[in-house]
Amino acid sequence: MSPEHFKPDQFKKDLQRVLSLIRTSQRYLEDGKVVELAALETKVADLCAQAQSMNAEQRNDVTPLLAALTDELAKFETDMAQEYANIQRQLRGISNTAQATNAYANAAKTR
Q: How confident is the model at residue 1 (pLDDT cuts 50, 70, 90)?
A: very low
Q: Could you read off the pLDDT of 34-49 as tens digits, one per residue? A: 888 999 999 999 999 9
pLDDT for 111 equals: 67
User: E strand or H helix at 23, and its extent?
Assistant: helix 8-30
Is 82 in a helix, a strand, or coil? helix
Rounded CA separation 14/10 (Å): 6
